[in-house]
Amino acid sequence: MSITEHEKLYSPSQWSRRFDSLGVQAEYSKNARNMTELARSATSCEIDISYGPSERNKYDIYGTDLPKDAPVLLFFHGGYWQEGSKDVSGFPAKTFVSQGIKVILGGYDLCPTVTVAEILSQVKSLTEKILKFALEWGSKSVWVGGHSAGAHLVASLLHDPEWMTLIAQKGYLPLLKGILLISGIYNVEPLLTTSYNNALKLTGNEAKVLSFGTSNTKVPILNIKVIVTVGECDSPAFVQESCNYAQKLVEFVDNVEYLLVRNSVDHYDIMEKLVDNNFILNKLLIKNIQ
C-alpha cells in the first residue's frame, strides 16, 4: 500500500539504503532481541525493577557489579510512543558497562493505552528516581538519553522548569551532567495528519504543547551538556528536525553539540552500532560520560 509523501517523510524506515522498509524493521527487531539477550548474559544485571503501578513501569540495570560511584546512563527506547520495549533496547548496555558506565533502560506505557502527556510524566518520575539513587550511590554523574520518540521524551526534561526546580531542591540537579538525543522528533504537529496519530490521538493544541522544537522555553540550562545526533540516511524530516532543534537549544542551553553521522547511517543502525567500541557516537559519549 502506498503512503503519502508527507507520511513518508515521518517514516524513517522508508529512507534506509540498506533494506526496504519492511526489511530494515525486521533487521532491527532481530538485532535488538539478540543484542539485549547478549547484554543480559554478558553483564551483571537486574531486570524488571518496578517504579510505578503498571506492567510497563519497570527498568533494568546493567553493570550492577560496577563501583558504586560509576557514572550512569539512563536510556529510553523509541517506537513513536506506541511500540517498543526496554526488553529489546539493550544495544548500549554491554559496550558502556565494559567502559565502567552503569546502563539503566527505562520502560513506559504506550499509546493508546495512555496519552503522550502521561508517558512524559512516567519518564520524569523514573528520571527523578534514578537521580535519587545515583545520589545515594555516590555516582560521578548521570546522563539521560533516548532514541526516536524516546529522544522526544528526554527532551521534555529541558522544557519543564518546574521539574528542573524540583530536582534542584532535592539536591539531584548537580548530578545531571548530560542529555543524549538520538534520531529524535521534536515537532509533533506534522504527525496530526499521519496514521501515527491514530494511536496517539493528539489534538492540535496537545501537539503544539508537545512540540519542543517550536517551544518558547527561555529558562537557562547551565552545566548540562546536550548531544543531538542523527544519521544522514534517516528521514529528511528527522535530519532537519535534529539540526533545527540543536540550534534552538543553543538559545538557552550553555553546552550543545550536534553530530550528523555519515557513512549512510540510518534511523536504525545508529542504534545497532552502539555495540561497536569504535563507533564515532560511542567514542563521543564515553569521553563525555566517563
Residues marked active site are found at 148, 234, 267
Q: CA 168, CA 45: separation in Å to the nearest integer?
A: 29
Number of other CB atoms surrounding residue 147 within 10 Å: 27
Residue among 164, 157, 160, 104 at smallest CA distance from 134: 104
The answer to whether residues 229 and 270 touch, using CB atoms and an 8 Å cutoff, is yes
Query: What does the buried/exposed string (b/e) look like for 53-68 if buried means 16 or more CB atoms within 10 Å of the residue's CB?
Result: eeebbbbbbbbeebee
Q: CA 43, CA 6: separation in Å to the nearest integer?
A: 42
Residue among 217, 272, 265, 223 at smallest CA distance from 245: 217
